[in-house]
Homo-oligomer: A and B are copies of this chain.
Amino acid sequence: MATRQQVADRAGVSVAVVSYVLNNRKLVKEETRQKVLEAVRELGYRPNLVARSLKTKKSNQIAVLVRFLGNPFEAGILLAIESTAKASGYFVFFQTYEEAQEEQLKELFMGRVDGIILLGQFLSSETLDYFISRGIPIVSITRPYTELDDRDMDIRSQWIDIDWHGAMRELVQHLRQQGHERIAIMADSAGIHHYEWRFRACIKALNSEGLRFEPADRLNGGGRFEQAYAELAQRLSLIGSVKKLPFTALICANDLMAAGSLAACRDHGIAVPEQLTIAGCEDILMSAQTNPPLTVLRYPRPEAAEAATRHLLELMEGKNSCSSSTSLKAELVVRGSTAP
């Protein structure tokens, strides 16, 4: 593997000159420049990025932390992150991450990462501080949820998310128009999760629209298709042959759970939307293809991903963009699962 020294020798110049040429400094005589370029070509030389990183203290890599890549929602976002980052010469480095591995994270990222994007993830404020104080900014897609020090966290973490309250209001209004008065919500009740914001926004929206939320109407779908299926199936088998749920509509904090609920209804002979109306919150590709297709709030994924990445890049370049966190607007997409 050719090194800079070899290129220099071959071109009959010093390593510095090779560097100058490769970094496009104009102070090199054209003739010398050509000699160097030729030597580079002949040797098939390429700079060693690791050595460069060591010197410049820039890795040109950004890490993306995802919990579960199997969710198409996240895959789509990843794509947009990557293309935005690549356009600025950065590499994306993704990692599925489970909570409580923050120490490991610090170890693994040491010197290797210039910035971090959280994708539906949560880091302790201590860890956030750790990275930020080392000049490694962090931006989150979806607002991280924490029960305790909301305000404290929000100072540190910069996030991009939907204006869930506005979006949920629109959805609830739509459901009311269809005559629904009692609406259930399915989220992920296991631990801290950003779906909690969607859940809360939904309750707030119900209240804004003059509806009450019954705590018993909170379902736990664990964010997954299978769990959602199991949860609703269980409720359905409880009510037995009566086929009458206490609620007539169900809002799911993500589309996979909505699809799982749909499947449970199908298998238990519950007609959607006639007997139960179901809506999701992301609009993944699958959601338009279920039977019936799902009404959803469409999460503007490319926009969110691009905004987050740009924001991160700015922070990495030391620009103190004043805007800390951003809310985007979701679009209500009405399909057969709520409107016959």
Taking Cβ atoms with an 8 Å cutoff, the residues of A that contact B are 1, 46-51, 53-54, 59, 61, 68-70, 72, 74-76, 78-79, 82-83, 86, 91-96, 106-108, 110-112, 134, 225, 256, 259, 262-263, 285-286, 288-291
Contacts and interface: CB of A to CB of B under 8 A. Distances in A.
A55 to B, nearest CB: 9
Contacts of A289: 259, 262-263, 286, 289-291
A106 B225 CA distance: 40
B94 A94 contact: yes
Contact of A225 (B50, B134, B285, B290): B285
A70 B74 CA distance: 9
A54 B46 contact: no
Nearest to A106: B46
Contact of A69 (B79, B86, B291): B79
A46 B95 CA distance: 20
Contacts of A59: 50
A84 to B, nearest CB: 12
B95 A91 contact: yes
Contacts of A91: 93, 95, 108
A50 B46 contact: no
A96 B79 contact: yes
Contacts of A92: 93-95
Contacts of A107: 46
Given A1-B134, A286-B286, A111 B51 contact: yes
Given A50-B50, A225-B285, A259-B289, 4 more contacts: A47-B110, A75-B75, A285-B286, A289-B291
A79 B1 CA distance: 32
Contacts of A49: 108, 110-112
Residue picked from A72, A76, A256, A289, most chain B C-beta under 10 Å: A289
Contacts of A53: 50
A34 to B, nearest CB: 20
A91 to B, nearest CB: 7
A155 to B, nearest CB: 22
Contacts of A50: 50, 53-54, 59, 111-112
Contacts of A286: 285-286, 289
Closest 8 pairs (CB-CB, A-B): A291-B291, A48-B111, A286-B286, A75-B75, A50-B111, A46-B110, A69-B79, A50-B53
A300 to B, nearest CB: 15
B69 A75 contact: yes
Contacts of A46: 106-107, 110
Nearest to A104: B86
Contacts of A48: 54, 110-111
Nearest to A78: B69
Nearest to A93: B93
